[in-house]
Amino acid sequence: MNVKQFLDQVAYTVEKEYAGEMMTEYRSNYDDSYITFVGQEKNIMFLAKLEITDQLTHGVGFSPKDSKWYGWSHRAIYGFKIGSTCKKGDCHYIASSDADLLEAALEFWRCDYYADVRSDGIIENDDGDKFYDIKWDYLPSTPNKSLHGTIGGVEHYIKALGRGEWVAKTMDDAKQMAKDFSAGVS
């Protein structure tokens, strides 16, 4: 399917103002979510090629062509069906316990430049959002020499718990995996 056919089937256009400039964007017929701007249709050619035409939202949709739910962002796309798996380390993996969630946060920040990646507890902001207070020691391999021997850190957002490792047993499960994948690569 070409992009024009695809967009004619799944979208409508609307004029919106962005930074003082009027622009035309495509919005999903299914839920009114943003798809792309007029003039940037080439950015969604992959959606047309896979024929992701059902229940198309920003980042998730179903392809009747291959009976898969897809999740995507500008970084990646992947299709899920009955029997698809979710394992620790996958983009769509969401820890099922507080301990696994903390370990995933620590693993995210481990690299060749940091030693002793650790959490110094949980921080809560004024909006009630919670973050792990992640700290590390900079190693001599860190390219910025002024950081050698110092402590770095970041506030790592704490996500809601998920299912951990699991297998899609229904198409609704496959849809959830696609949603989790879209969020994981966004």
Per-run averaged pLDDT (10 residues), the chain, 186 residues: 96 96 97 96 96 97 98 96 96 93 92 95 92 96 95 92 96 98 94
Spatial contact of 185 and 72, defined as CB atoms under 8 Å apart:
yes
Q: What is the pTM of this model?
A: 0.84
Spatial contact of 28 and 17, defined as CB atoms under 8 Å apart:
no
Question: Sign of the C-alpha dihedral, residues 128, 95, 162, 82?
Answer: positive
Q: How far apart are the first and last CA of the chain?
A: 26
Q: What is the pLDDT at residue 159? A: 85
Domains in the chain: boundaries:
3-58, 98-157
Task: Give the residue from 116, 92, 94, 114 showing the smallest Cα distance to 104.
Answer: 94
**Reduced DSSP (H G I as helix, E B as strand, rest coil) percent helix, strand, coil of the chain, to 5:** 25, 35, 40
The one-letter amino acid at 49:
K
SS3 55: strand
Spatial contact of 42 and 3, defined as CB atoms under 8 Å apart:
yes
